[in-house]
Structures are given as structure tokens and as C-alpha cells.
Amino acid sequence: MPQKNHVSWACLISGYTQNGMPDEACNLFKGLICAGLFPTHYAIGSALRACQERASISLKLGMQIHGLISKSPYASDAVVSNVLMSMYSSCSGSIDDARRVFDEIEIKNSVSWNSIISVYCHNGDAISAFDLFSRMQREATEFTFTPSEYTFCSLVTAANSLVDCGLVLLEQMLTRIQKSGFLHDLYVGSALVSVFARYGLTDCAKMIFEQMYDRNAVTMNGLMVGLVRQHQGEEAANIFKEMKDLVHMNAESYVVLLSAFTEFSNLKEGKRKGQEVHAYLIRSALVDTKILIGNALVNMYAKCGDIDNAWSIFRLMPCKDIVSWNSMISGLDHNERFEEAVSCFCTMRRNGMVPSNFSVISTLSSCASLGWIMLGRQIHSEGIKWGLDLDVSVSNALLTLYAETNYINECRKVFFLMPEYDQVSWNCFIGALATSEASVSQAIKYFMEMMQTGWRLNRVTFINIFTAVSSLSSLELGRQIHALILKYSAADDNAIENALLAFYGKCEQMEDCEIIFSRMAERRDEVSWNCMISGYIHNGVLHKAMDLVWHMMRGGQRLDGFTLATVLSACASVATLERGMEVHACAIRACLESDVVVGSALVDMYAKCGKIDYASRFFELMPVRNIYSWNSMISGYARHGHGQKALKLFTQMKQHGQSPDHVTFVGVLSACSHVGLLDEGFQHFKSMDEVYGLAPRIEHFSCMVDLLGRAGDVSKIEDFIKTMPMDPNILMWRTVLGACCRANGRNTELGRRAAMMLIELEPQNAVNYVLLSNMHAAGGKWEDMAEARSAMRKAAVKKEAGRSWVNMKDGVHVFVAGDQTHPEKEIIYEKLKELMNKMRDAGYVPETKYVLYDLDPENKEEVLSYHSEKLAVAFVLTRKSELPIRIMKNLRVCGDCHTAFKYISKIVNRCIVLRDSNRFHHFDGGLCSCGDYW
């Protein structure tokens, strides 16, 4: 052009700006100034928009243009001022400069108001934006200021960021928009639908959606996202189905649709629908061209439980971003493929990807599940380098990792170094302290602090704190927390009710348990039933526990392994064989007989109820065994005096690749003790540390002292105790005193010392005085025995009476020495007299040394004749039966009764199984399974 005027320059600057060429527009504007021409307001407006496109790099030029404008007639031009506000907002990020421009406009129009409101909205200052909007409406009485659709869109989006008053403002905005006639506008309606849906007001969102004249994919996506967040996946899929022929779908529409399938009530149906969409996306060639669709497919399959398909899609993706890796790692962790999740994270790092907080959280979760504390610590260190430790969710994942691996000190450090907390942080920390025996009281302390700092308690908080309160068995504190639950209206939550059942059951408040359980009605689950059954068992009410089991079965309630194992353990603890066999039948009907937990409990129950043959047979039939199965069988053999079988099974256990633990060695050392294998016992004891890396505990040292005592090496006990790395406790001193009792008066000095320590530690326990008295009686030191008995009377303690009992069809029959209370006492004593005569004819001579009183020989024989176990066996023999006789005794059987039972088993030709406080004795044909070594 030979001649260029203001219009020529303005047109070309505007053209460059509108066609996305801001650099050329800015350079041309500079050329205009250099040519000595003063730009028109159109040229200035276009140049400012170009500066806005270039953001901060053109701030200086924009400020220079602002200076130029201030010297020109355009200083108060509304159009130019509006563009200046937008430029400052984009280039400097400063609202102050934009606000200064707005305040300098002498005559403001609707565009001015709308521009400044949009600036505040886009910069996240929603409160100031609404203040300006209110002022705009107040001043509209003098001038006509009409909010545009862009203003309404900005304000609706801004209201969503206000936590406290956002919903109230939105409802007011909806009324204002309806009056303005913008409800049917595409952009305003889409914004309203999206925001109301995000608040969970899906009915309101759908109402607006249906009233809109024009809708597009953005509108539909906003509604679907809200429905998905409210777990209404089926409804979201139906919206897509209705709209698919009415609007042009974009990639985001399919991403939202795929996420909807993960919220189906039936995940199998969700997966099937997802596969249909997957097939369509393959036909449409969208899978390989859009990374976000590949990511959505990985996420959909992973959350629907098909992790193999998710992995296949991930592996075939031509391009992967950080979201792809996050989705895959999270999916593997969600589907309990923990090792693969960790491996995937390591592969991502090798590929040079910097992890985000999401991938770190999922990987730490997998490490926690695997117990991989070393790798977890490495990721923690890496997270600090990346600055991810400042993210509250990452810190929460670290709290969980250290809590689940029992690193409570590290858990404390993470918590105290967190720059900010959320509700999850407090719950994780309190939960970690509650499950650590040494930190239970601190859990309560931080629970109080959480309340004092204003955090709202939720179901997880209450469940965690009840774990701590249950450990302390603090009934008063528990009732206070129960009152808090009622205050928070959380008492109808199933998990909290279960926690209350467990707590009150442990505190022996079964009446409270029964009230809560009766109110649960339809909310009862397996945990509820198990808590009630465990509570009854813990409180010694076995018959009510069994009644609940029958009630569960009659009501069609599924019996799980925990229920059966709990009841079997209770049957084992009180040696109720008949009840135990009934529960075994329940396990068979529930198809849980092959469950390893139930199987282990059955082995333990049969062993403790005297049926070691049943226990052995069932153990051999178990398809899968764990450490508890092996331990139960080894301990069972030891308890029944089959030491060689126990040691042979220990060898088989190692051959099967099962590493022993501390409990295993208690059984092994007990087996050696019961059969007198002194040298072999010491070999196994040494192997604990040298071979298996297990530091012997006090119970293992106690077993060795018992072994020395039974073998008669009482003199070596004192030297052995000196080798212990810990101080002897009550168990150890009682074992020492018991060993001295068996030594027939040898090494009474050690026994006296052990008794003094026991009386000092437990002055109210009658067993300590009785053992001391028995030791003196065994050595014939009657004066010392009388002194021990006198000390017991002064301490005002009562000796537990020796009792024996038998289970018959008509109930449990209990006997004490010289019992005269049984309704069939005449028949019992007649039968006992008959037995005594037959025993004497067979060569039985009463062993009067076991009468722990200084009496005449005739009186001693009479005392021995009426021991409780003899009365019990005589009573059973008054009934017609050929089944083995099973007798339980709360104390150790005396030597005379042991000899008598051997004679009785031969005379009546019946097997007699006697369980005393130490072990089982099987008498058959005049012999005992212990080989008289007990």
C-alpha cells in the first residue's frame, strides 16, 4: 500500500490478534508508534489482547500501552478499559491493577462490571466477585447494568469453591438467572448443571438439564460426573444413552461413561457394558488416538475386578502419561496384586517418569499390605526429594504404612512433621496408636486433642478409639465415648455397633451387648454375630454362645471360619468334646471343614478334649496347613505325653518348608520335658537362636527349667537361671518351685527363695503357699509345712479346692475330695469300696507319701481313698457303658491316684482319659501313656 492510515494499521493488528499471531500483532503495534501515528482505540484494544495472549512476557508492553492511553482521549474509554482489566489479570496475575483500571472508569457499562467480576472469579476470589455483583445490582437503579451469560457462568463456577456458603449462593444465583432468562442458555445452563451435580443435588441438576433448549456434550458430561460421584452409575449411563443421538459426543463423554460403569451396583453388569463401549471405541479408532480414553479403560477394568484386561490395555497403549501409570498402579493395588503394583511403580521410575502423589499413595499402600518397610522407607525418601511429603494424602499413606508394619515411632515423626492435617490424618494416627500395646493411652490423648482442635469425629474415629478403650478395658471411658456416638447420631452405623459389641463383651457387660444386638435387627452381619459369640465365650457363657450358633443356622445366616474357630477354641478351653463335635458337624454342613483356620481349631479342640487320635487323623487329612496347624498338633502330642511323635512331627514340619516360630518351640520343649529328653531338649533350645534366629523368651527358659526338674537335675536349675538375659517372672519362679516339689526335699533352699519371690510378687495367690507347703511335706519337714500353711492363713488367701468332673448325658457331675453332697453318694462309695478291694487283690498298695499331712498310716490311706478323681471314676462305673471314661481335674493328679487308675483300667477293662492341670494321661490295660514320667 503506497499510503497507510490509522484504519490500515488497526485492521492488520486486529487480524494478527484474531488469528492467533500475538507476536506479529505486538511488533506491528510498535511499528505504528515508530511511524509517528497515534493508534485508534481499536488498534489499542487489539494490541492489549495480543499482550494478554502472550501473558507475562508482554506485561511490560501492556504497561507501556496503558501509559500511552492515560495521555490520550481514550483514558476513560470503557472498551479500552475492559481490555486493560483482562490484560492485567492474565499477564500479572494481580487483581489490584485490574481493579485500579475499573475504579478509574468514569462511566461504567455492563461490560465493565462483567469484566471485573470475571477477573475476580478467574483469580479465585469468589467473595469479592459476589460483593461486586451485589454492588452492580444496587447501582442498576440509576443505570441499566445487565449481567451477561459470561458473568453468570463465572459466578456459578466461583460459588462452587466456597465451602461454607457456596450452596446458598448457588440457590440464590439460580433464582436470579431464572429472572434474567438465562436458564435456557447453553453456557449458563451447563455451568449450573455441572455445579449442582457436583454438590450431589442431582434432581435439581436434572431439572435444569431438562429445561435447557440447547444442550451439548459439556452439559451432559457435567450431569454425568455428578451422578457418578453420587454412585448413581446406572442413571449416568441412561443419560448418555438418551443423549447419544442428540449431541455430538467428545472424548471426555466416553471417559465419564466408562467411569459410570465402575459405580454400577452389579459390577459384573458394569464390566459387560464397559466391554461393549470398549468394542465401539476400537471400531471408532478412538482407543489409540486418545490417551485419556486408554486411561479410562484401564481404570474401568481395574475397578470392575478385571485387572488382567486392564493390564493388557495398558501394555498396548502407544503413549502413556502419568495418569496411565497412576491408573495401573492404583488398579493393581486395588485388586490386591501388591507385588505387581510395586514392580509397575519401579518400571515407571526406570522409564524416567516423575511420580505423582497418586502413584506414591498406591505404591505405599501395596508396601503396607506386603509389610515391605524397607522399600516403603525408600519411597518416603524419594517423596521428600520430589516434595510430595507435603501432600496430606501422601503423608496419610505413610502413616498407614508405618502403622501396619508396627513402626510407631516413625508414625509419630510423620504426623508431627505434617504441615497440615485432615480428618484421615487424625484417624490414621489414632488408629496406629490404638493397635500398639505400648501406645494405647496416647491414642486416647490424641483423640481428646482431635476434638479440642475442632475436628469432626466420624465412624472411623469411633472404631479406632474403641480399639484403644477395649485394650484398656475402661468401662467408664467407653460409656463416655458411647454417649458421644449418640450425640453424633452415629449409633445406627453397623461398624460402630460391632465395635460397641466387642467393647462391652470384653468389659463383661453382656447385658449391654444383648440390648445393642437386639436393636440391630436387619443390620446384623457376620461380625455382629461373631462379636456376640466371642463375648459369651469370653465371659464363660458357652451355652449361650452355642445357642447363637444354632440360631444362626436356623435363620439361614452363613457361618464363617471365624465363628467356628472361636467356638471350637471355647470348647477346647473347657474340654467340652460333645459340643466340639457338634461344631465340627456345623463346619461340615457349612463346607468349611477344609478351611485352614477351622481345621487348625479342630485339631486344637480334639487334642485339648483328649481325642488325640481324632486330632492326628484330622491333621493328616488337612489339604492345607499353616503354622497354627503344625503348632496345635505338636503341642497336642506333647500334652498327651507322645513326645517322640511331637518331635517327629517337628521334623516333618521343617521338611514341608514351614519355618517354626516361638510357639512351635514351646511345644517342642514341652515334649522333651514330658518324656525326659534332656540332651535333645537343650539342642532344640540352642537351635532357636543359632539356626532360626528366634531369641528365646521367658516361656522357653521356663520349659527348660521344667525339663531339668523332671529329669532330677535340680542342682543345675540355679546356674541355668543365671544365663537368662531377662529377670525371672512369676511363671519362672513357679516352675522352679514345682521342680523343687518333685525333688522330694532336695534343694529346698532354692525352693524357699523361689517361694519368697512368688509371695512378694503375688501375695494373694494361694498356689504359691500350697507349692511351698507341698515341697516341705515331700521332704517330711512337717514343721516347715505347718509354717507355710500358717503364712497362708495370715495372708487371708484361700486354696482352690481340688475338683474333678465328668460330662454325662444328664449333665456335668463335679466331685471334691470326700464329697458327701452328690445325690448318689451311697452307690458311689459302695462302688469305690468294691474297686479298692479288687485293686488290693491285684497288688495295689496306697502310696501314703502323697498325703501332705502328718497323719497315722491308716488315716493317710483313708484320705487317699476319697480323692475327687477316684470318686469321679467310681461314679462313671455305676453307669452301664463301654465307652472310654473321661475325667477332668483342675489340679495336678497325685501319684497315688495315678497308680490307682492304672489298676482300675485293667480291672474294669476300660480306657480312662484323665486331664489334669498339666497334661493328659491315657490309662489302658494297667499302663499310662506318660510312661510314669510326669
DSSP assignments along 104-125, one per residue: H-SS--HHHHHHHHHHHHHTT-
Query: What single-letter amino acid sits at 892?
Result: R
**Residue 855 scores a pLDDT above 50:** no
Q: Which three cell numbers stand for residue 682?
A: 537343650
User: Bigger pLDDT: 857 or 918?
Assistant: 918
Q: Which of 83-97, 108-122, 333-347, 702-716 has the highest mean pLDDT?
A: 333-347
- pLDDT confidence band for 379 (50 / 70 / 90): very high
pLDDT tens, 671-713?
888 888 888 999 999 999 899 888 898 889 888 888 888 777 7
Band of residue 859 on the pLDDT scale cut at 50, 70, 90: very low
Contact 202, 230 (CB under 8 A): yes
**For residues 738-747, average pLDDT:** 64
| More confidently predicted of 43 and 778 | 43
Q: How confident is the model at residue 127 (pLDDT cuts 50, 70, 90)?
A: confident
pTM value? 0.63
Task: Decide if 397 contacts 360 (C-beta within 8 A).
Answer: yes
258 falls within a domain: no
Most confident of 561-565, 645-649, 725-729: 645-649
Residue 837 inside a domain? The answer is: yes
- pLDDT, tens only, 10-20: 889 889 888 88
Average pLDDT (574-592) is: 82
Partnered with residue 691 across adjacent β-strands are none
Residue 651 in contact with residue 931, Cβ under 8 Å? no
CA gap 524, 540 in Å, rounded: 23
Least confident of 91-100, 280-289, 739-748: 739-748
For residues 681-719, b (16+ Cβ closer than 10 Å) or e, as one string? bbebbeebeeeeebebebbbbbbbbbbbbbbeebeebee
| Among 671, 914, 690, CA closest to 802 | 914
Residue 363: pLDDT band with limits 50, 70, 90: very high
**Over 60: is that where the pLDDT of 884 sits?**
yes
Mean pLDDT of 541-556: 76
Model confidence band, residue 77 (pLDDT cutoffs 50, 70, 90):
low
Of all helices (H) and strands (E), which one includes residue 129? helix 126-139
Give the pLDDT band of residue 120 (cuts 50, 70, 90). confident
CA distance 226 to 228: 5
Per-residue pLDDT reduced to its tens digit, 153-187: 777 777 766 656 667 777 777 777 777 777 777 77
What's phi and psi for 568, nearest 5 deg? -65, -40
How confident is the model over 419-430, as a mean pLDDT? Answer: 90
Average pLDDT over residues 908-925: 87
**Given this model, what pLDDT does residue 864 score?**
54
Question: Between 133 and 316, where is the model more confident?
Answer: 316
In whole angstroms, give the CA distance from residue 661 to residue 387: 41
Higher pLDDT among residues 355 and 52, named by residue: 355
User: For 301, what's the count of Cα atoms within 13 Å in the CB-facing half-sphere?
Assistant: 21
Average pLDDT over residues 815-835: 87
For the cut 60, the answer to whether the pLDDT of residue 337 exceeds it is yes
- At 160 the pLDDT is 67
pLDDT at 856 over 50: no
Structural domain includes residue 876: yes
Asked whether the predicted pLDDT for residue 599 surpasses 80, the reply is yes
pLDDT for the residue 177: 73
Statement: residue 346 has pLDDT above 90: yes
Say if 855 falls within a structural domain: yes
Let me know if residue 446 belongs to a domain.
no
Q: Find the domain containing 853 and state its range.
A: 804-928
Residue given cell 446406572 in the structure block: 234
pLDDT at 857: 43
Q: Is residue 286 part of a domain?
A: no
Cα–Cα distance measured from residue 874 to residue 878, given in angstroms and rounded to the nearest whole number: 7
Banded model confidence at residue 92, pLDDT cuts 50, 70, 90:
low
Point out the least confidently predicted range of 211-215, 343-347, 643-647.
211-215
Q: What pLDDT is stored for residue 858 in this prediction?
A: 44
CB 782 within 8 A of CB 847: no
Instruction: Say if residue 436's pLDDT is above 60.
Output: yes
Section 397-413 average pLDDT:
91
Is the pLDDT at 845 greater than 90? The verdict is no
Across 396-403, average pLDDT: 92
Q: Is residue 873 assigned to a domain?
A: yes
User: Do 81 and 101 meet the contact criterion of CB atoms below 8 Å apart?
Assistant: yes
Share above pLDDT 70 across residues of the chain, in percent, rounded to a whole number: 89
pLDDT at 722 over 90: no
8 Å CB contact between 587 and 602: yes
Residue 147 has pLDDT above 90, yes or no: no
Number of independent structural domains in the chain: 1
Q: CB atoms < 10 A from the CB of 369, how many?
A: 17
Task: Quote the percentage of the chain above a pLDDT of 90.
Answer: 19
Residue 820: inside a domain = yes
For residue 399, the model assigns a pLDDT of 92
Position 65 scores a pLDDT of: 78
Question: Quick check: helix, strand or coil at residue 725?
Answer: coil
Model confidence at 333, in pLDDT bands (50, 70, 90)? very high
Once rounded to an integer, what is the mean pLDDT over residues 410-432?
91
Calculate the dihedral angle through the C-alpha atoms of 402, 408, 409, 414, rounding to the nearest 10 degrees. 50
Return the pLDDT at 705: 85
Q: Among the residues of 609-747, which ranges form H helices?
A: 612-621, 627-639, 643-655, 662-675, 678-690, 698-710, 717-722, 730-742
pLDDT, greater one: 720 or 150: 720
803-808 and 885-889 as β-strands: parallel, antiparallel, unpaired?
Answer: antiparallel
Residue 73 is classified by DSSP as G
Under 8 Å between Cβ of 788 and 737: no
Please indicate whether residue 828 or residue 84 has the higher confidence score (pLDDT). 828
